[in-house]
Copies of this chain bind each other. A is one copy, B any other.
């Protein structure tokens, strides 16, 4: 349903510039047509304003130049556009109610406004809150508690006793509460350490596809409010992640790691067991965190890409770094000695 630009301006806190018009949806600026609302997030894209087929744009005032395109002006076009996109594309559940194939324990407590799609299985003692949606084939273990308005997509597994808050989204393939990885050597074999804690996920948390969060050994694994986890992430047992921390895909967080609030952790970062990281830390992609971080700031550890033939020459010298250092020091001494002559 189309909406007037002036009306949208109010809802997403922008200022209308130029003529009012109807917009129907959001689009990419280079693929937009009539009825589309687009955005530019950077002055370098302002040239596209003259060529786009869109009906309106969200941008900063100073990028308009002489464009006569109807515009919604804001200091943060990216945020305003995201809000416009959400308004124009309300999430509509493709399923409401309880599918007859769902297998629900009589001892589970399902709010009557919750939806359970086909082949969902809910075990005894589980509690499912109001307006929560459980997708196809998802398994909710014994005594699991899930809050309100939370969406579990298809084929998610939540092990017994875990707790998930309100307004969360768990993508397909997520596994919450599998045993942490704990073994003690016992002669010529390993003895499994019972994993007796659970996983507690706060409110407004998003967990990406095939990400795994292990249950704690004695205490619980804790995921704070507002945390966003991308796909294929591993969170070890007894990890604590502070509120509003964001972790990109394929990262792995070792056991008993404590990460602060509002951290930004890039893709494929590894954090060793037992590390502590304070609030407001940024860790760039591919970094391996080998020690605790006690000061907010940005941290890194990858090595630069090169053509293979160059890289090969340089990388073999890596094994000589210490020798090179010593030879350098020795040269310095020699030279300073000869200076003294």
**A26 to B216 CA separation, bound complex (whole angstroms):** 13
Q: Give complex CA distance A288, B315 in Å.
A: 13
Does A71 interact with chain B (Cβ within 8 Å)?
Answer: no
A178 near B85 with CB under 8 A, answer no
Instruction: Select from chain B the residue with minimum beta-carbon distance to A171.
Output: B178
Q: Which of A43-51, A57-65, A231-239 forms contacts with chain B?
A: A231-239
Q: Is A66 an interface residue (CB 8 A)?
A: no
| Residue pair B315, A302 in contact (C-beta under 8 Å) | yes
Least CB distance, A123 to chain B, in whole angstroms: 6
In which size bucket is the chain A interface?
A: 35 or more
What residues of B have a CB within 8 angstroms of the CB of A317 in the complex?
Answer: 321-322, 324-325
A184 is contacted by which of B82, B298, B299 (Cβ under 8 Å)? B82
A310 & B319 in contact (Cβ 8 Å cutoff): yes
Q: Please, which residues of chain B bring their CB within 8 A of the CB of A27?
A: 218
CA of A204 to CA of B194, assembled, Å: 15
Does any Cβ of B come within 8 Å of A10's Cβ?
no
Complex: chain B residue closest to A225, CB-CB: B189
Whether the Cβ atoms of A31 and B219 lie closer than 8 Å is: yes
Alpha-carbon distance A155/B175, docked complex (angstroms):
10
Pairwise interchain contact A335-B331, C-beta atoms closer than 8 A: yes
Cβ of A250 under 8 Å from chain B: yes
Closest Cβ of chain B: how far from A340's Cβ, in Å? 13
Complex: chain B residue closest to A262, CB-CB: B188
B232 to A189, Cβ gap below 8 A?
no
**Chain B contacts of A320 at CB under 8 A?**
314, 325
5 contacts between A and B (CB under 8 A): A103-B119, A178-B231, A189-B244, A288-B303, A301-B306
Residue numbers of A with Cβ under 8 A of B are 26-28, 31, 76, 78-79, 82-83, 85-86, 89, 94-95, 99, 101, 103, 117-119, 121, 123-124, 135-137, 139, 141-142, 153-155, 157, 159-160, 169, 171-173, 175, 178-179, 181-186, 188-194, 196, 204, 206, 208-210, 212, 214, 218-219, 226, 228, 230-232, 234, 236, 244, 246, 248-250, 252, 254, 267-268, 270, 272, 282, 284-291, 297-322, 324-325, 327-328, 331-332, 334-335, 338
